[in-house]
Amino acid sequence: MLKRGLAATLLLSSAPVYANDSVMQAIGDSTQWAIQTGDYANTRYSELDQINRENVGKLQVAWTFSTGVLRGHEGSPLVIDGIMYVHTPFPNNVYALDLNNEGRILWRYEPQQNPDVVGVMCCDTVNRGVAYADGMIFLHQADTTIVALDAKSGEVKWSVVNGDPTKGETNTATVLPVKDKILVGISGGEFGVRGHLTAYDMQTGEQVWRAFSTGPDEEMLVDPEQTTHLGKPIGPNSSLESWEGDQWQIGGGTTWGWYSYDPDLNLVYYGTGNPSTWNPSQRPGDNKWSMTIMARDVDTGMAKWFYQKTPHDEWDYDGVNENILVDQEIDGQMRKLLVNLDRNGFGYTLDRETGELLVAEKYDPAVNWATEVVMDPESDQYGRPQVVAEYSTAQNGEDTNTTGVCPAALGSKDQQPAAFSPKTGLFYVPTNHVCMDYEPYRVSYTAGQPYVGATLSMYPAPDSHGGMGNFIAWDATKGEIKWSLPEQFSVWSGALATAGDVVFYGTLEGHLKAIDAETGELLYRFKTPSGVIGNVMTYELNGKQYIGILSGVGGWAGIGLAAGLTNPNEGLGAVGGYAALSDYTELGGQLTVFAVPD
């Protein structure tokens, strides 16, 4: 039976007029899992309710599939018309499995990439999954090749190269199919890559537009009088004036996170990453428009509004986390909201039409690098975080070790996506409870070589339960934590909320957990073969609901295990912080699918 969910229809009622019909039809059928984020609004919510708080404790493993690849497995499978599409980290293999024939492999795509690309991938060889539209499966490979595959046969319909790995340009993200375009980003902020979002024609692979994160207005697709920041026009050459000399050309602002889309406004939303280098003394100024939420017209790429969350970033608080689009009442008024749980530890709620800042509050009480975000529109500090001098790595200067900064560079939350339930009105957020020491040093730029300029070490936040993570319920209209579940390690898995009043997530030790959406009570857990950094998904087949999760430890938090690193300062500081992870799990690559037995 076709089930149309609140999350799918709330924002997308007029979508067939504006958005890609094939994607909208697939998203509207909650028996399928048609897009990595669940829907264009990035809610990761499913209307399926066969698995609920009363029976979830009876879950059992229904079947498994080995991907044949080790290292970090992020993202999730897709399910379209009885076929499951499973991806892997590098070398980015794709499998099409016939769910009506015991998971028989219908086809496999095994790209032949230059293995040298692994050496310029920052934080493991992860990939966050494939996308579907118009009978095609779209893969963005590590080497930045975008491939369109026939969904039934696996035949390559077209391919195009989006970047140059010899300059440090790589890819870890999924793509967003919207209207007649495929939107793709770029990774490589730790190599001085200049970020951009690019639209390609879905049928031909021809480039339609490209919007850079930094640089001249015309290259950023900015109208300085029409593009706003906190309600005011940004003015001419806003980016150029915020960098010293030509530093913007190697200024980072990469776009390796998630993308959301509002078809009624015809706007795509995404975030830009850290400025390069990590040594803030080498790049004075606000470094616009790194660390920024961007809203752009899908047809033209022209920017409507920006909001820079962390001007002149000093801690590598990449701003690429997902933007979740919901309609909720705030201050007595229904608003079109955008909710962003940023790496910097602040949870932001904005009006997604205008970019007005409505809420900015800490979602981890350990956050100490800033006291607050100024909310007074009349203040010259409006929208800016108020930095605590003790934790400023720029003020303390090069070759000075700034200690006790919370959160660590991997943020109070990294890219692992949160979920939203329209039944509870709450956001379910995987978080890190980790702090760091940060020592900048002077570094020179050479194309294709690391351009970091800082040494880091990470450790659990003080005065905590001793763990490195929490899974929280967040009220974005008030900026309040409703409840918080401590975890031994950071929660590096994407969450799933369902109409069965159950929320699912995975842990770095390898558990799939199911909790009550209202109370956070643990209802079920199962230890999978490897640590979970994938995103939980669900689908229905022949009247039965299933839950799926990729396990395979890795990513930034698991880079020590994934790459065999032992020096505590390796992995950009993460190896030492997560050294104990090897006592609980080992490398793997497996899909585990669960169901309640008949």
Which residues sit in the known binding site?
A: 74, 128, 172, 190, 254, 274, 316
Nearest CA among 437, 519, 524 for reference residue 482:
519
Q: Which two tokens stand for residue 357?
A: 């800042």
CA dist 276 and 453 (Å) reads: 9
How many Å apart are CA 569 and CA 31, to the nearest integer?
45
Neighbouring CB atoms inside 10 A of 207's CB total 12
Distance CA 133, CA 181 (A): 10
E strand or H helix at 329: strand 323-330
Mark the binding-site residues for Ca(2+), compressed into ranges.
190, 274, 316
The torsion defined by the Cα of 402, 406, 407 and 410, in degrees rounded to 10, comes to 30
* Cα–Cα nearest to 279, from 445, 448, 432, 461: 445
Give the residue numbers of the binding site for pyrroloquinoline quinone.
Answer: 74, 128, 172, 254
Please tell me the number of Cα atoms within 13 Å of 448 on its side-chain side.
Answer: 8
Q: Which of 39, 124, 217, 316 is catalytic?
A: 316
Q: For the chain, how long is the longest CA-to-CA vector?
A: 67
Q: Token pair of 585, please? A: 């799990």
Classify residue 569 by burial, with Cβ atoms within 10 Å: 0-12, 13-18, 19+.
Answer: middle
In DSSP notation, 357-389 reads: EEEEEESSTT--SEEEE---TTSTTTT-EEE-G
**544 burial type by CB count under 10 A (0-12 exposed, 13-18 middle, 19+ buried):** middle
316 is an active site residue = yes
Helix (H, G, I), strand (E, B) or coil at 529: coil
- What residues are paired with 540 via a beta bridge? 545
Catalytic residues: 316
